[in-house]
Amino acid sequence: MSHKFYDIHYHLFDLSHPNLLAFILRDDMITGESVRKVMRKLPLLLKFVPLGAVNFFSGKIAERIKDFIQNDAGKFRNLLSMMENSIEYHFLLADYYIRKEKIFCSGDEKLKFNKIVICPLLIDFGFKNLKNSGCFYDLPPAKPVAGQVADVLKSIRFYYNYDIIPHPVKEGELRLVKSSTSKEDKLFEIYPFLGINPRNYDLLEIKALIDKYFSGYENDSMPEERYKKLFARLGEVEVNLEDLIFRKKEKENPEYYSYIFAGVKLYPPLGLNPWPEDEPAELDKVKFLLSECARKKIPVTVHCSDGGFKTTPEADYFSNPERWIKILNQSSFKDLRINFAHMGNRASGSREWLNTIISLAEKFENVYTDFSCLTPEIEDYKLVAGIIEKNMSSRLLFGSDFVINLLWSGSYNEYLKNFLITPYLNTEQKLKVCSANPEKFLFG
């Protein structure tokens, strides 16, 4: 393992993956500011027309809303544009634009990287816990994580087997060509995290998932051994949804899917209770999952903010890092490597969750936190600098939250560049949070 840049919190989505209602209803999708912008386009109507008369102007209101989406909601359209792309091209596109702008080729010599390690975090949307009352099709549609697994593996395989180049004839278009670049020379190393929500499975199914995707991990004695096995599998797995469901390749090779995932992703706002004491059967499933992650040295990233995709009214309660105090105090979980994502960010500006994470990091050596989605602007690194001063320099991880961060940032390039040039972190601090710390979190 060499001098590499790590993005420990990344998302590979297309429009088929998320719970679409939860996606649209995210707090950061329709904001007070976006509503105010629409309203400012209708000043006379809102000031002088009685509310009941608005019905007569419904066509004009619809026109203004469409105009806002078309001309003002640029970042929202940018996000949808990326999610509408064929999933196979995702990493190829990200690679193309980074190379085009030569992101890591200028400035501080110590911050010139020739490799970016990306950890796409799958989210287990399961059956979504949604009841679409008032709809004819009122059964919650299933979004099995197997579909995301197939798409992510397909995208990774495409990345290591193909390149995209400017079209030789059609100006402004890109062309897919067979890659002549070795895996070692590709810009990205891609190590996804498997999304698991224990509530979507019974205990035997969870055991089967661990056996399927994490077979043999307990035998890795050194970080280099884990790394070499994960690297060896990059781009080698060819799979489709049918095969994942009916396990055709597993019948030929029981370990075919092992070492394609580097970790596990947990997402409490979708109904995952980290420690469901009042539900013995659910508690057994959580205990098994976390004990296996500890035993097999599988790093865990858990969503820890009051934003994101929510399908339960208990989202904030489940997301509170205090829910993990009892877990981490148990000897059976002492080796659990866990990243509390988003630094416990809360829309109100409260630091309560962040302070809890800091106290957990002081007590447990395997507790980390990432600042994904919190630093779209250079000035935002003032917050990160303040956290480093609280003896957190060895526990902070760089994460982008791409593609979701396109709601606040113009591009993945922009997000990376702002980190590299921010004056609020010195070179040593930057190297820790984007290289040394995430490498230790990921591989041990």
Q: Which domains does the chain have, with CATH numbers?
A: 5-15+86-443 (3.20.20.140), 32-71 (no CATH)
Looking up tokens 């402004």 gives: 172
Residue (of 386, 230, 196, 388) closest to 303 by Cα position = 196
Angle ∠(118,223,220) on CA atoms, nearest 5: 115
Cis omega (within 30 of 0) on the bond before 403?
A: yes
Whether 161 contacts 235, CB under 8 Å: yes
How far is 292 from 255, CA to CA, in rounded Å?
17
Tens digit of pLDDT at every position of the chain (444 positions): 558 999 999 998 776 666 555 555 555 555 555 445 545 554 544 444 454 544 544 555 555 555 555 555 556 667 667 767 778 889 999 999 999 999 988 788 999 999 999 999 999 887 544 455 556 666 655 556 888 899 999 999 999 999 998 888 888 888 999 999 999 999 999 999 999 999 989 999 999 999 999 999 999 999 999 999 999 999 999 888 888 888 888 888 989 999 999 999 999 998 899 999 999 999 999 999 999 999 999 999 999 999 888 878 899 999 999 999 999 999 999 899 999 999 999 999 999 999 999 999 999 999 999 999 999 999 999 999 999 999 999 999 999 999 888 888 889 999 999 999 999 999 999 999 999 999 999 999
What is the amino acid identity at position 59? G
What is the amino acid identity at position 88? E
Between the two ends of the chain, the Cα-to-Cα distance in Å is: 12
- pLDDT of amino acid 310: 83
Question: Which residues lie closer than 8 Å to 238 by C-beta, 6 or more apart?
Answer: 153, 157
- pLDDT of amino acid 441: 98
Distances (CA, A) of 368 to 142, 143, 394: 32, 29, 8
How far is 383 from 366, CA to CA, in rounded Å?
22
How far is 4 from 220, CA to CA, in rounded Å?
22
Whether 86 contacts 13, CB under 8 Å: no
Residue (of 418, 413, 402) closest to 100 by Cα position = 413
Whether 230 contacts 194, CB under 8 Å: no
- pLDDT of amino acid 296: 97
> Helix, strand, or coil here: 379?
helix
Residue (of 8, 4, 7) closest to 265 by Cα position = 8
- pLDDT of amino acid 44: 46
User: How many other β-carbons are positioned within 10 Å of the β-carbon of residue 138?
Assistant: 10
How far is 227 from 443, CA to CA, in rounded Å?
7
